Structure 1
Amino acid sequence: MRLKIIGTGRYLPEKTATNDDMAKLVETSDEWISTRTGIKQRHLVSSPEENTTYMATEAAKRALKNSGLKPEDIDVILVATVSSDYITPSTACMVQRELGAFNAVSFDINAACAGFLYGLNTVDAYFRSGIYKTAIIIGVETLSKIVDWSDRSTCVLFGDGAGAVVAKADETGMLACLQGSDGTHADVLECKARSNNNPYVSTSKDFDYVFMNGQEVFKFAVRKVPECLNQLLEKANLTVNDVDYFLLHQANYRILTSIAKKLNLPMDKFPSNVDQCGNTSAASIPILMDELNQQGVLKEGDLLFLSGFGAGLTWGAALLKW
């Protein structure tokens, strides 16, 4: 048995901030942002109640409705995030409480922008081993709370939101998957946590903001995604022409076009919503997947290539039948 997606859902905050809004905060312009990233706007939380847990729960509710399953049917709730509301408990446990899915084991993973793929791969392993049969996998981020809003190199890139899928163990679905990491380049994209503060070590700084070496991340993504694709195609005994759609982490439209060019493929095989959502890290792929599902773009039997890449450095990829 393997992972098959049977339902999708997403939640995006109603409040949007355009590039012109960003220009009121930092020295930038719509032209500067859009030509370098493809981003036109991003969704941002606008109230204390609209937090990571709330967005994850709303996306999960919509995915459950789309799947036809009930909360009590779920065996696993896995949340991928770097921006949880609490150090502990996990966001997944909070979502479990809000859903009433009390039969589910619940936990978070932190693999940055590759987190959703790590979640898919983890649940697929559970299904193949026969331990569990149903799951909710959520990617959710409130990146606006860890961004330095005076740093134009990062604040214009990121947005908030959540995407979720419901999966069940089936004879079809996940064909092949992989994940990897390279901690030697951990400083390329980072956000430091609270420093130690005890009777022997003291600091006045509670936390830091996101730092990113954009050029290094760009080069990493354009190199790694085709590598992952080739590995999975060989593993599944398929060719690139068998893939109907490439659902990649929505970090930067120039990354997507560079990957498509490297693979010699048309951009209509690379759906994108980065112009409307910005970079939502672990949430970007499930948000895009639900958008395509609700629009009726994805058809039964379509072959999808999914790939996420981000801080760690981490990467994950999957080939699955819709």
Structure 2
Amino acid sequence: MKFASIITGSGAYIPNEICKNDAFKSSTFYDATGAPITADASVVIDKFRSITGINERRYAPAHINASDMAAAAGWQALTDSSIDPETLDQIVVAHNFGDVTHGTVQSQNVPALANNVKHILGISRPECIAYDVLVGCPGWLHTVIQSHAWFTAGMARKVLLIGTETLSRVIDASDRDSMIFSDGAGAIVLEYKPATNGAAGILGCSAQSHSTEEADYINMGRSYKQNGSDTLFIKMKGRKVYEYALKHVPLAMKECLDKSGVHISEVHKILIHQANEKMDEEIVKRLYNLYAATPPADIMPMSIQWLGNSSVATIPTLYHLIRSNKIAGHAISDGDIILFASVGAGMNINAVCYRA
């Protein structure tokens, strides 16, 4: 009997606290040299919006940590899948900074967030192993690829895969890039089940790491407002990241489709990491250029405009929103082919081709 890796449930935690762009109008931004940016904050914000597409983002309430959001999204996915949580073989949580208590910037990774999630959900089965994955923004999609490998090796049948992050707690308020980042969590249940006639499931994957000169394109550094503190915040070389993504991500996406035996004309939706609207649009355009084709207007749903960039949480959250009919003009039907793709710190890239 042929088996396939199939998504049977999804969930998301979207914080209620909305931070609109206007909230930054009183900010004083600095550049990487420590010099204040002389342009009026409203001009900086307008330019930021025109490039990233972000109008607002979500921040987690002070009493909620990344583990809490992960557990909430995970419980939704479990409920949606209708499986008994005690039948899970693995809980895998992708993140970058662990639990960061509100008002601090210290990462807490012991115990692992996946163990915290297992505890919060009250899952007692020892054979359900819990562990974390740190691969930058592509971390959640990496858990999908990794779990597919576990399945085909005969070592698991049901897994809960979560991406969660509270980036609002590790940003430098004096850095204009801080406006990109947000908080949230997304999750799926992935099961290894007998393949149906429609051959639903994962069709192929690709992954790459470029870690020579690219390794520090996204890193940790001191505040741009040079105040003598040794505290480190998330930093990004925006132009380098942009150029890297446009050069490498379309090729990795095509490699994934080639491995899957799928032509670009067969793809119904592209769910790409919500990093930057302009960058994502150009990545998809360049992918289609590799086939001498033009992307359909409805090929790439977006959530960055109102959710911002929540790193590992963007793709599973977007997938759940579409499945829940909460992204206008977008739906996923049985048999549709979806191309997932992500890029981020490392620098790492991955892609997954999936038939719903």
Q: Which amino acid aligns with 2:109?
A: I
Give the corresponding residue for 1:290. Answer: 320
- The separation in 2 between residues aligned to 1:24 and 1:207, in whole angstroms, is 23
Residue 205 of structure 1, CA deviation:
6.0
Q: In structure 1, the residue corresponding to 2:232 is in which secondary structure? A: coil
Give yes or no for the alignment of 1:316 onto 2:344.
Answer: no
Cα root mean square deviation, aligned: 1.6
Give the corresponding residue for 1:101. Answer: 123
Q: Is the 8 A contact 2:205 2:259 kept in 1?
A: no
Instruction: Kindly name which structure, 1 or 2, has the bigger radius of gyration based on alpha carbons.
Output: 2
Superposed, 1:1-322 pairs within 5 Å as 1-26=3-28, 28-29=41-42, 30-47=45-62, 49-85=63-99, 86-103=108-125, 104-152=128-176, 154-170=177-193, 171=195, 172-184=200-212, 185-191=214-220, 207-262=231-286, 263=288, 264-295=294-325, 297-322=331-356
Q: Is the 8 A contact 2:206 2:253 kept in 1?
A: no
Unaligned runs of 5+ in 1: 194-203
Question: CA 1:102 to 1:207, structure 2 compared with 1: closer, same or farther past 3 Å?
Answer: farther
- The separation in 2 between residues aligned to 1:96 and 1:206, in whole angstroms, is 34
Residue 232 of structure 1, CA deviation:
1.6
- The separation in 1 between residues aligned to 2:303 and 2:117, in whole angstroms, is 26
Residue 46 of structure 1, CA deviation:
2.5
- Normalised by the length of structure 2, the TM-score is 0.84
- The separation in 2 between residues aligned to 1:136 and 1:5, in whole angstroms, is 10
Residue 134 of structure 1, CA deviation:
0.2
Residue 28 of structure 1, CA deviation:
2.9
- The separation in 2 between residues aligned to 1:286 and 1:91, in whole angstroms, is 17
- The separation in 1 between residues aligned to 2:317 and 2:116, in whole angstroms, is 20
Residue 224 of structure 1, CA deviation:
2.1
- The separation in 1 between residues aligned to 2:314 and 2:124, in whole angstroms, is 27
Q: In structure 1, the residue corresponding to 2:242 is in which secondary structure? A: helix
Aligned residues: 310
Q: Is the 8 A contact 1:38 1:253 kept in 2?
A: yes
Q: Which amino acid aligns with 1:180?
A: Q
Q: Which amino acid aligns with 1:87?
A: N
Residue 118 of structure 1, CA deviation:
0.7
Residue 211 of structure 1, CA deviation:
1.1
Percent identity of paired positions between Structure 1 and Structure 2 = 31
Q: Which amino acid aligns with 1:161?
A: G
Q: Which amino acid aligns with 1:39?
A: I
Give the corresponding residue for 1:196. Answer: none
Residue 102 of structure 1, CA deviation:
2.5
Q: Is the 8 A contact 2:250 2:284 kept in 1?
A: no
Q: Is the 8 A contact 1:116 1:308 kept in 2?
A: no
- The separation in 2 between residues aligned to 1:232 and 1:151, in whole angstroms, is 35
Residue 145 of structure 1, CA deviation:
1.2
Q: Is the 8 A contact 1:12 1:43 kept in 2?
A: yes
Listed one character per residue, the Cα deviations across residues 2-59 of structure 1 (whole Å, up to 9, x for unaligned) are: 3210101000111010000122334533422210110000001221x21101100000
Listed one character per residue, the Cα deviations across residues 103-125 of structure 1 (whole Å, up to 9, x for unaligned) are: 31000010011101110001001
Residue range with higher mean Cα deviation, 172-181 or 23-32: 23-32
